[in-house]
């Protein structure tokens, strides 16, 4: 399954974000290294939503933080409008960060509890330093209203006075006020009630259309990713296993792991038969990932070749790329 390669990268003038050969490693005990992300590459064209899916521990959030340089990756390239942001510091990094914003998983802890909402949202504008205080206040007030908060009472309140859904609206406002080109959404609805999730998803869709955004959307809820994304990247244990359009990838998966994920999506039908789990075993440790294909220890189609040779990402159908020696028909 999980392999390397760049065959799926697109040679187009409208590619706004290009991630190539991204590696993220963390120090472990006894001098070991945690291989969180291993040679991951993907791109996003302007106005596109890229969905990033996989089990907990597959490296999705590590990819998101590496794109934002929070912290910088161990190695690799993250190009935004043709500029590699890896290694940038100071003014140069701040100039690029204006185009690249992030919405975090936990909306409450991502906001400074001591600051008023208007100051949280306006902080990025003040750091950029190219607007007058009056212009900052006007833009802050406008974006507060656009995300559905009360423009009369919300600005002077602090995060603890809001619900989780309202705090996520504040986070979205903080990202949108800078007019970014790319927004990385790291599971932005997973910490919210189901009734609030739909509201936030609709708000993100509205903001995408209003600001002509490119989104990198990370989520555990595969149904959400399926409905929101134009293109989906499936990850497993720090590697990419399949890339394709949303509809095709879930209707006809080409990789055993993608098939297992698709079968785990619940059906809204009480009479639907209960499916047996198609994926068994535990996720291997990122301290010592399996040789060859990293999915082979849980794959029903694994053969000897899978243990000795890592599969390369290749095109198996038009627009469908998979890293598997024995892809599904």
Which pLDDT tens digit goes with each residue over 270-306? 766 666 656 777 889 999 999 999 999 999 889 999 9
Task: Determine contact, residues 294/236, Cβ cutoff 8 Å.
Answer: yes
Alpha-carbon Rg for the chain, nearest whole angstrom, is: 21
The predicted structure's pLDDT at residue 1: 42
Q: Residue ranges of the chain with pLDDT lower than 70?
A: 1-3, 268-269, 271-278
**Interacting residues of 221 by C-beta distance below 8 A, sequence separation 6+:** 189, 190
For 169, residues 6+ apart whose C-beta sits below 8 A from its C-beta are 147, 148, 149, 200, 203
140 belongs to a structural domain: no
- Output phi, psi for 25, to 5 deg: -130, 145
CATH of the domain at 231: 3.40.50.300
Q: Is 30 helix (H, G, I), strand (E, B) or coil?
A: helix
Residue 106 in any domain: the answer is no
Residue 153, C-beta contacts closer than 8 angstroms, at least 6 positions apart: none
Residue whose token pair is 């990025």: 124
The Cα 1–Cα 150 span in angstroms is 49
For tokens 């936990």, name the residue.
Answer: 106
Q: State the DSSP code for 4.
A: B
**How many whole angstroms separate alpha carbon 60 and alpha carbon 190?**
14
For residue 323, give the nearest of 57, 39, 29, 67 by alpha carbon: 39
130: in domain: no
CA distance 69 to 79: 12
Helix, strand, coil content of the chain in percent (nearest 5): 30, 25, 45
Domains contained in the chain, number? 1
Sign of CA dihedral 169, 174, 175, 177: positive
Position 247 scores a pLDDT of 85
- C-alpha–C-alpha distance, residues 115 and 248, integer Å: 45
pLDDT at site 105: 87
Contact 235, 59 (CB under 8 A): yes
Within-domain flag for 141 = no
Domain assignment present for 229: yes
Taking phi first (over 0 means left), then psi (-120 to 50 degrees means alpha), and beta for anything else, what does residue 271 get? Answer: alpha
Note the pTM of the prediction, 2 decimals: 0.90
How crowded is the C-beta side of 246, counted as CA atoms within 13 Å? 16
Position 55 scores a pLDDT of 87
DSSP class of residue 29 equals: G
Q: Is there a domain that residue 207 lies in?
A: no
128 domain-assigned: no
Q: Which candidate, 118, 121, 269, 100, places its Cα nearest to that of 180?
A: 100
Query: Do residues 171 and 110 touch, judged by C-beta distance below 8 A?
Result: yes
Task: Tell me the longest C-alpha to C-alpha distance in the chain.
Answer: 67
C-alpha span between 183 and 268 (Å, rounded): 31
Write down the pLDDT at residue 2.
54
List the beta bridge partners of residue 242: 234, 322
- Token pair for 75: 């190695």
Q: Which domain holds residue 326?
A: 1-99+220-265+278-329
Residue 270 within any structural domain of the chain: no
Cis peptide before 71 (omega within 30 of 0): yes
User: Is there a contact between 166 and 92 (Cβ–Cβ < 8 Å)?
Assistant: no
Dist CA 229 CA 309 (whole Å) = 32
């Amino acid at each position: 399954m999980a392999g390397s390669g760049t065959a799926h990268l697109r040679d187009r003038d409208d590619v706004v974000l290009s991630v190539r050969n991204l590696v993220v490693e963390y120090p472990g005990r006894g001098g070991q290294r945690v291989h969180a992300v291993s040679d991951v590459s993907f791109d996003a064209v302007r106005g596109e939503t890229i969905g990033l899916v996989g089990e907990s521990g597959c490296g999705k959030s590590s990819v998101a933080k590496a794109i934002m340089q929070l912290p910088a990756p161990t190695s690799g390239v993250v190009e935004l409008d043709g500029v590699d942001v890896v290694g940038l510091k100071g003014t140069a990094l701040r100039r690029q960060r204006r185009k690249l914003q992030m919405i975090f998983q936990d909306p409450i802890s991502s906001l400074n509890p001591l600051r008023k909402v208007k100051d949280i949202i306006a902080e990025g504008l003040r750091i950029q330093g190219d607007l007058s205080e009056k212009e900052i206040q006007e833009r802050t007030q406008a974006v507060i209203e656009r995300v559905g908060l009360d423009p009369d009472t919300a600005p002077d309140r602090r995060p603890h006075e809001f619900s989780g859904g309202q705090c996520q609206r504040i986070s979205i406002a903080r990202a949108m006020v800078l007019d970014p080109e790319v927004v990385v959404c790291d599971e932005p609805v997973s910490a919210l009630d189901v009734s609030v999730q739909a509201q936030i998803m609709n708000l993100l869709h509205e903001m995408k259309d209003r600001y002509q955004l490119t989104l990198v959307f990370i989520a555990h809820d595969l149904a959400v990713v399926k409905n929101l994304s134009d293109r989906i990247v499936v990850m497993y244990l720090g590697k990419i296993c399949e890339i394709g359009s949303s509809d095709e990838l879930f209707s006809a998966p080409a990789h055993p792991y993608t098939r297992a994920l698709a079968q785990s999506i619940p059906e809204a039908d009480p009479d639907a038969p209960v499916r047996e789990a198609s994926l068994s075993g535990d996720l291997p440790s990122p301290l010592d990932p399996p040789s060859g294909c990293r999915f082979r220890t849980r794959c029903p189609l694994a053969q000897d070749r899978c243990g000795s040779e890592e599969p390369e990402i290749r095109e198996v159908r038009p627009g469908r790329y998979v890293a598997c020696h024995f892809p599904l028909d």
